[in-house]
Amino acid sequence: MITRIIGTGSSLPSNLVTNDDLSKIMDTSDEWISSRTGIKERRLAKEETTASMAAEASRKALENAGISAEEIDLIIVGTITGDYVTPSTSCEIQAKLGAVNAVAFDVNAACSGFMFALHTAHIYLQSGIYKTALIIGAETLSKIMDWNDRSTCVLFGDGAGAAIVRAYAQARNEKGGLLAFEQGSDGAKGKVLACRDRVNNNPLIQNPLEPGYVSMDGQEVYKFAVGTVPASIIKVLEMSELKTEDIKYFVLHQANIRIIQSVAKRLKVSEEKFPLSLDHCGNISAASVPILLDEMNRKGMLKAGDKIVMSGFGAGLTWGTAVIEW
Ligand code: ACO
Q: Is 283 a catalytic residue?
A: yes
* Contact assessment for residue 296 and residue 278, using Cβ atoms and an 8 Å cutoff: no
Backbone angles phi, psi at 321, to 5 degrees: -135, 140
* Contact assessment for residue 290 and residue 163, using Cβ atoms and an 8 Å cutoff: yes
Q: Minimal CA–CA distance to 82: which of 51, 59, 111, 47?
A: 51
Domains 2-168 and 177-325 share a fold: yes
The domain made up of 177-325 has a fold known as: Peroxisomal Thiolase; Chain A, domain 1 (3.40.47)
Q: Would you give the DSSP letter of residue 131?
A: S
**H or E stretch covering 291:** helix 288-298
* Binding-site residues, ligand 1, Cβ < 6 A: 28, 32-33, 36-37, 111, 150-151, 154-155, 193, 216, 218-219, 221-222, 225, 255-256, 258-259, 283, 313-314
Torsion sign, CA atoms 294, 306, 233, 269: negative
Q: What CA–CA distances, in Å, run from 161 to 32, 61, 306?
A: 28, 9, 21
* Contact assessment for residue 12 and residue 281, using Cβ atoms and an 8 Å cutoff: yes
User: Mind listing the pLDDT tens digit of every residue in the chain (326 residues)?
Assistant: 999 999 999 999 999 999 999 999 999 999 999 999 999 999 999 999 999 999 999 999 999 999 999 999 999 999 999 999 999 999 999 999 999 999 999 999 999 999 999 999 999 999 999 999 999 999 999 999 999 999 999 999 999 999 999 999 887 677 889 999 999 999 999 999 999 887 777 788 776 677 789 999 999 999 999 999 999 999 999 999 999 999 999 999 999 999 999 999 999 999 999 999 999 999 999 999 999 999 999 999 999 999 999 999 999 999 999 999 99
* Neighbour count for residue 71 (Cβ, 10 Å): 16
Contacts of residue 76, defined as CB under 8 A and 6 or more positions apart, other chains included, come to 90, 104, 105, 106, 107, 117, 120, 121, 133, 134, 135, 136
Domain boundaries, the chain: 2-168, 177-325
The domain made up of 2-168 has a fold known as: Peroxisomal Thiolase; Chain A, domain 1 (3.40.47)
